[in-house]
Amino acid sequence: MATLKESLTGALPEKELALVPSSYDTVGDLAIFSEFPPELKKKEKLIGGALLGMHKNLNVVLKKVGTYSGKFRTPKLKVIAGEDRKETMHVEHGCRFRVNPEKAYFSARLGGERKRIAIQVKKHESVLVLFSGIGAYPIVIAKIAQPQEIVSVELNPYAAKYHQENLRLNKVFHISLIKGDVVNVLPKLKKKFDRIVMPLPKGGERFLKDALQCSKKGTVVHFYTFSREDALGKLGKEIIEMCKKTKVNAKILDVVPCGHFGPGIVRACVDFQRI
Ligand SMILES: C[S@@+](CC[C@H](N)C(=O)[O-])C[C@H]1O[C@@H](n2cnc3c(N)ncnc32)[C@H](O)[C@@H]1O
């Protein structure tokens, strides 16, 4: 299949053609350009239209008009072509997620990572998913592993609304969603979990101490963070040191890179076990 640039040949002068972005994210039937060159502002409708013409499964083209920001990690988006909406239905591992990426963080690129976690979960486990967003981690875990109990915690009211709706859509009724700040919610939980998922790569360390209060010997933690690619080898040791500061001993099970964040920077999941 022709690339977007190739499909625009003749429609744009060479100088502009060279600037056409070659990558974009898809969430359901939305295509999202992360970095759309300002020089192409007047041609955005044409470029978006060309993309829609190439992919029949896409109905809306958006561009980010700011970076991921705020505690909810949401970007401002602008529709540049197609239907005038930002909400969609995304399908992943047989699960359906209703989502508006401008209101609640969601990355389709993490689908493989969610499955990697889900297939480790055993039926007898109780699982705590912090920073659960629209419910993608807990729902994929519920569908694939059917563990005894899942508790999820999310602060953003829009994300929590989609999370609730997605529970109904996927007919998973044994997930308890707690709406609120992890800092306030965890001390009240008074429960020890077999597994804790912490998908907050920017600043997740601030919540590690509270999360570990909900752990016991043997608990497995999936802790996400950003790291320089060349410093990945040191990550495990750093996390063990952080745990020690809260008087918890841990051993590293795995350090898994799961996506690029910027030049030389990766998102990584440190899987560790309390010992
Ligand atoms: C990077 S997103 C991950 C969302 C989701 N787990 C996913 O992968 O699609 C982080 C999420 O944590 C939520 N969040 C940030 N700080 C929080 C806090 N203190 N307590 C609860 N949720 C929080 C944000 O609203 C956001 O939905």
pLDDT per residue as tens, the chain (275 positions):
789 999 999 999 999 999 999 999 999 999 999 989 999 999 999 999 999 999 999 999 999 997 766 778 788 999 999 999 999 999 999 999 999 999 999 999 999 999 999 999 999 999 999 999 999 999 999 999 999 999 999 999 999 999 999 999 999 988 999 999 999 999 999 999 999 999 999 999 999 999 999 999 999 999 999 999 999 999 999 999 999 999 999 999 999 999 988 889 999 999 999 99
Instruction: Return the pLDDT at 72.
Output: 81
Report the separation in Å between the CA atom of 11 and the middle of ligand 1, taken as the mean of its atom positions.
42
* Domain containing residue 138: 105-274
Considering the domain architecture, whether residues 185 and 256 belong to the same structural domain is answered as yes
**Helix 157-169 and helix 136-145, axial crossing angle in degrees, nearest 10:** 20
Q: Please check whether residue 96 lies inside any domain of the structure.
A: no
Q: Please check whether residue 253 lies inside any domain of the structure.
A: yes
- Rounded to a whole number, what is the distance in angstroms from the first to the last CA of the chain? 52
Considering the domain architecture, whether residues 177 and 265 belong to the same structural domain is answered as yes
Distance CA 58, CA 56 (A): 5
Judge whether 242 and 205 are in contact, CB under 8 Å: yes
Report the separation in Å between the CA atom of 142 and the middle of ligand 1, taken as the mean of its atom positions.
19
What is the domain count for the chain?
2
Considering the domain architecture, whether residues 26 and 75 belong to the same structural domain is answered as yes
User: If DSSP codes are grouped into helix, strand and coil, which group holds residue 29?
Assistant: coil
Q: Please check whether residue 20 lies inside any domain of the structure.
A: yes
Q: Is the pTM of this model over 0.85?
A: yes
Nearest alpha carbon, ligand 1 atom 1: 200
User: If DSSP codes are grouped into helix, strand and coil, which group holds residue 124?
Assistant: coil
Which of 92, 102, 105 has most ligand 1 atoms within 8 Å of its beta carbon, as the pocket-test mutant? Answer: 105
Binding-site residues, ligand 1, Cβ < 6 A: 71-73, 104-107, 110, 131-133, 136-137, 153-156, 159, 181-183, 199-200
Judge whether 155 and 71 are in contact, CB under 8 Å: yes
